Homo-oligomer: A and B are copies of this chain.
Amino acid sequence: MGDRLAKDRLFDAFASVAKVLGSGRRAEIVDVLAQGERAVDEIAGEIGQGIANTSQHLQQLLRAGMVCTRREGTRIYYRLSGPAVERLWVAVRQVASEHVAELDELAASYFGDRAAMDTLTRAELSKRMAAGDVVVLDVRPEPEFRSGHIPGAVSVPIRDLAGRLKDLPHGRTIVAYCRGQYCVFADEAVRMLRQLGMPAARLEEGYPEWAAARLPVESGAPRAAAGRV
């Protein structure tokens, strides 16, 4: 049919989209941006790379149409360009978690014994929030909390948790959440709290899934003296 070249180029175009996600660092960027928009230096910090390198990764994501930008003074904020990109990222994680054996090992060795740790589904958390017998703890970095969080949640970034443990209320179960199933922040928080004998559990998924499920969200800065709930 004489179509070899055009056909190849068509599928190369499809593949170019997947190829952009085929780098761990860019995948990490997409995962960060799934939480909300970020400036370049913030992204560089979160993924632990230099600014120039981060910028080039962002250019690639931009060229593939997966992110868009917004300028504000000297800063340029990046965000995912639409829900199709989020669906793609979820699809990648699903295939990976179903089929990549290494993931289970990685998750087990690094996340700790997830199975032995209490987890709550979104529905369970909603119910217990309504009953008022839990404290919801957002352990993501604060900018992510600002751009959206579960209503009533307290923001204590995992980095600060050790120093602010005594501010947390006793008596009620603390439910920590973070970026999602494959983020370790909530796991670390639960481990830390349990070592101190405090009842703690993690939300099975993270904020992106919560928001995607159209459950109520809230945005803005944490309340002053965030320690008191």
Contacts and interface: CB of A to CB of B under 8 A. Distances in A.
Max chain B C-beta neighbours (<10 A), residue from A7, A14, A16, A159: A14
Q: Indicate how many identical chains form the complex.
A: 2
A184 B4 CA distance: 12
Looking at chain A's contact residues, the main secondary structure is helix
Contacts of A182: 10, 14
A35 B91 CA distance: 20
Interface size grouping (class) on chain A:
35 or more
B94 A88 contact: yes
A91 B91 contact: yes
Given A84-B98, A106-B10, A184 B3 contact: yes
A138 to B, nearest CB: 17
Nearest to A49: B8
Contacts of A184: 3, 7
A88 B95 contact: yes
Interface in A166-193: 182, 184, 188
A65 B101 CA distance: 9
13 contacts: A1-B158, A1-B188, A3-B184, A7-B48, A10-B103, A11-B31, A15-B22, A15-B24, A17-B96, A19-B19, A66-B99, A84-B95, A84-B99
